[in-house]
Amino acid sequence: MEKQMGHEKPNSFCLEHRESNGLQAVSCDENMEASDGELEDETVRPAKRISITESNMKSRYATEFHELEKIGSGEFGSVFKCVKRLDGCIYAIKRSKKPLAGSIDEQNALREVYAHAVLGQHSHVVRYFSAWAEDDHMLIQNEYCNGGSLADAITENYRNMRYFSEPELKDLLLQVARGLKYIHSMSLVHMDIKPSNIFISRTSIPATIPEEGDDDDWSSSKVVFKIGDLGHVTRISSPQVEEGDSRFLANEVLQENYNHLPKADIFALALTVVCAAGAEPLPANGDQWHEIRQGKLPRIPQVLSQELLDLLKAMINSDPEKRPSAVGLVKHSALLSTARKSAEQLRIELNAEKFKNSLLQKELKKAQMAKAAAEERAQFDRMTTRSTTQNRTSRLTGKKMNRSVSLTIY
């Protein structure tokens, strides 16, 4: 990665607005300082391009952050839990391995930075703050998720002989689907969805008081799932695909068919949920690997509703066009439980109830009007009957007939 800079020694590497690997990046480091020296004359010397490996500044990492502990490691490098000295907040700092320059790790690191810069901020995507280089290392400052990764939670569940329950699985599926919906809406695809790339943020205060029998640790009001590790992100149009974990890889991607890339994320999400449900570790190849790509779910050691199983099967359909989209998942009835229906679904139901109430009110009004009319007719009939009876009884003849007397006084 290169950046155009002056001839003075740089204080830090700064990612600016540019394009690479089909993604755009925006400024992410506002602390770029001016050169501490002055030009010898008024002539401006030609700018010099330096790569990230040439940055020979004082360590920004050591100056701005206090390292607390190492919280993870992988192919890219290591992740450290750090406190930023300036604001006292905790961040996750990813530090790449050596050597970085010209390697696939450098490409993935830059791809991740660019993807974060394009995506901005979303509640179900790990938030990005800054990126810079020191010596041969790329460092990325991200949001710290205090619940670790989903892979850590699955491992812990395995030790304790428990699984994610069906409500938890639905919550996981719905939240990650929302993150994918946002990523896909930006014309990007993740291409490496798996448990180790889903992170958990636990809040200390639930939004609502848990009802009796709720699992307090996994109440949806206290756990937020976030998509991280964007090193394989690429554009849907003109993609540059770097294949992710083969255990979660859709067959069409392996066959270099990139016509339905968002559906590859859906395929990987289904297998991620299957892992959380307690399935055995997924195969990286072999007969079982092919069976899964033919639409057969791995064995799940707990009883799940047929509705959820059917949804998971649809998500791993061998035909990517038949898999639901992220938008479809977010609105799917299987994920809209009574406690966590989406605002859109609630609005639809509210309108339906209003329509029903309107019809009932019209029917009630008609009934009331009909009742009033019937009572009026009945009263009229009674009055008519009474008048007729009186007329009949008053028809007297002869000396018994009533006489009318009129007196006029002058």
Q: Which tokens belong to 297?
A: 């779910």
Among 146, 138, 74, 84, smallest CA distance to 112 is for: 138
In 64-190, DSSP assigns E strands to 65-73, 77-84, 90-96, 128-134, 137-143, 188-189
CA distances from 19 to 48, 138, 187, 246, 280 (A): 19, 18, 15, 29, 41
Q: Is 229 a catalytic residue?
A: no
**Annotated catalytic residue, options 192, 229, 245, 265:** 192
Centre a 10 Å sphere on the Cβ of residue 42 and count the other Cβ atoms it contains.
5
Let me know: does 259 contact 238? Beta carbons within 8 Å. no
φ, ψ at 153 (rounded to 5°): -65, -40
Contacts of 81 (CB under 8 A, 6+ apart): 67, 68, 69, 70, 71, 90, 91, 92, 144
Alpha-carbon distance of 97 to 82, in angstroms, equals 18
Let me know: does 325 contact 262? Beta carbons within 8 Å. yes
Let me know: does 175 contact 225? Beta carbons within 8 Å. yes
Alpha-carbon distance of 175 to 329, in angstroms, equals 10
φ, ψ at 137 (rounded to 5°): -110, 140
Angle formed by the axes of helices 166-185 and 306-315, nearest 10°: 30
Contacts of 117 (CB under 8 A, 6+ apart): 15, 23, 24, 25, 26, 28, 128
Alpha-carbon distance of 193 to 244, in angstroms, equals 8
Q: Which residues are catalytic?
A: 192
